[in-house]
Structure 1
Amino acid sequence: MLLVVFTFALTETSRTPRLAAGRERYAFTLLEILLVLVILAAMIGLGMPAIFNALKGHRLKVSAERVQTEFMRARVDAMESGRIRMFRYQPDTGNFTVAPFLQSSDELENNLAGTSQGVGVSNLVLESAEQEKVSKTLEEGIVFLSNDVETDMRSYTLAQEQGGDLTVSGWSTPILFYPDGTTSNALLYLKSDGGTITSIKLRGLTGVARIVEPELANAGE
C-alpha cells in the first residue's frame, strides 16, 4: 500500500513544472506531505502498545488501591459496629462485596434488645445485614485471580458454627475483619487482561494492607 502511495506521489511530483530560477517556494509538495504523514503514522503505531500497556498498568494500580481502601474501611466498620465484617469476591471477575458476618450471637442480641418476635428474627437480621452490604467492581479488564487466607482459631470456630465451612458457591474464601481491629492474614492477587499481576497483603495482627509485587509477597516481605 505504501509503495502505491509513494509511486503516485512521485508521478504527481514529476508532472509539476519546475519553478523558475530565483522564485521562492511557499508550499509543500504532495510527496513531502505524504512522507510526513507516513512518519507520523509509523510513530503512532510504534507508541500505541506502550500507551495501552501503561493504561492497563494504571487500571491495575487503581484496582489494587480500591481493594486496599475497602480493607481499611471494613476494619473501621467492624471496630465501630462491634460486628465482624467479611470481604469476598467472585473469582475471574472484578466483583466483590463487603458485608456483616452473620452468626448466632446476632439473633441472641436481638432477643435481649427486645426486637425479636421469634419467627421474624432471622429475617430481621438478614435485612439489616443486606442494608449494610456493599457491592463494587474493579476497573475494566481487572479481575481477582486468587487469594490465600490463613485459617486461625477464630475463623475455625466461626466455620464450625456455620456447619464447618465459610465458603459460598461461586465466591472466594472470606477475609474477616474483627471488632478488635485484627483481621485474617491474607494475600490477594489481581490480574489485568494483559497478564500483569499485583497483590495486596493483609497482616492480621495490625490490619494493615499493603500493595506489593507478587515475588516480594511470596518472600514474606
Structure 2
Amino acid sequence: MQPRATTRNADGFSLLELLVVLTLLVILLSLAAPSIMAPLRGSRLKNAADTICAEFAKARVEAMESGRVRMFRFQTNTGSYQVEPFVRSSDTQENNLVGEGDRVVGNGLIEQSVQATTRQEILAEGIVFMGEQVDIDMRSYDTTDGQIADAQGGLSRPVLFYPDGTTSDAMVVMKAEDGAMTMVKLRGLTGIAKIGEVQSAEDLSL
C-alpha cells in the first residue's frame, strides 16, 4: 500500500510558519531597538539645546526692545521653563512702573503685566533640565536686590538679559533618558549662546 501523499498550498503559509516568522521579527526588533532609539534620543537632546539657544536670543532682543530686564528660569528635573520680565520687590511698592511697550502700570497691574509677557514652555519628551550655573556679579546682585543669589519656588536661579544687550554669564545643563547630557553656555558680554557636550564633571564649569 502506497503512503498517503500530503498536500500543501503552495500559494500560502501555515499558521505555524506565520507564528515562527512573527516571533523572529519580534526578537530582531527587540535587539535592534536600542540602536534605533539612541539616535532619536540624541536628536531630541540636540533639538532641546537649539531651543534654549533660540530662547536666549529671543529674550535678549526682548530686553533690548522693551528696555526692561528679562529672565530665564526652569524647573529642575523637568522640561518646564519660562521667560519673563524681572520685577524687583521694590517695584511693588512704587506708585507707577513703566511696563512692556512703554505702558505705565500701577501696583495692581504689575502682576498682570508680567503674566502678559511671560512665556512658559516645555522641552521635548524625555529631556529634562539637570542644573545651571549663573555667575553672580555686582551688577546682577544690585539689579535683583540680591534675589538672584538663590533659587526660589522650585525654580532655578534666573539668567538675566539686560536692555543694553549683555546677559548673565551662565550655563544650563540638560539630560536625556539614557543619561546623555548637553549644555548651553551663555557669554555675558556678547549675549552669544553656544552648545557643548558634557563628557565629565570638568565640563560643567563656566
TM-score bracket, shorter-length normalisation: 0.7 to 0.9
Q: How far 1:138 moved relative to its partner?
A: 0.9
Q: Distance in 2 between matches of 1:114 and 1:127?
A: 12
SS of the aligned residue for 1:168 comes to coil
Superposition pairs of residues 60-209 of structure 1, within 5 angstroms: 60-103=45-88, 104=90, 107=94, 110=97, 115=104, 121-159=106-144, 161-162=145-146, 165=149, 167-209=151-193
Distance in 1 (alpha carbons) for counterparts of 2:4 and 2:155: 71
Amino acid at match of 1:170: G
Tell me the SS of whatever aligns to 2:133. strand
Q: Does 1:50 align with 2:31?
A: no
Q: Which has the higher helix share?
A: 1
Distance in 1 between residues matched to 2:75 and 2:179, nearest whole Å: 18
Hey, what's the Cα distance between the residues in 2 that align with 1:146 and 1:220? 12
Count how many residue pairs are aligned between Structure 1 and Structure 2: 197
Gaps of 5+ in 2: none
Instruction: Tell me, in whole angstroms, the C-alpha distance in 2 between the residues paired with 1:16 and 1:211.
Output: 74
Q: Looking at secondary structure, tell me which structure has more strand per residue.
A: 2
Residue 200 (structure 1) shift: 0.8
Q: Which amino acid aligns with 1:195?
A: G
Cα distance, 1:220–1:163 mapped onto 2, change above 3 Å: closer
TM-score, length-scaled by structure 2: 0.80
CA 1:219–1:129 in structure 2 vs 1: closer, same or farther (change >3 Å)?
closer
For structure 1, the 5+ residue unaligned runs are: 1-14, 20-24
| Cα root mean square deviation, aligned | 3.3
Report sequence identity in percent.
41
Match of 1:214 in 2: 198
Residues 37 and 132 of structure 1: is their aligned pair in 2 closer, same or farther, counting only changes over 3 Å? same
In the TM superposition, residue 166 of structure 1 has moved relative to its aligned partner by 5.5
Structure 2 vs 1, CA of residues 26 and 164 (structure 1 numbering), >3 Å: closer, same or farther? closer
User: C-alpha distance in 1, partners of 2:18/2:103?
Assistant: 83
Q: Which has the larger radius of gyration?
A: 1
Q: TM-score, normalised by structure 1?
A: 0.75
Task: Write out per-residue CA displacement over residues 72-98 of structure 1, whole angstroms, 9 at most, x where no aligned residue.
Answer: 110110011011100001111111110
Deviations 1:138-194 (A, max 9, x none): 1112111001111122112124x2568463131101000011111111111101122
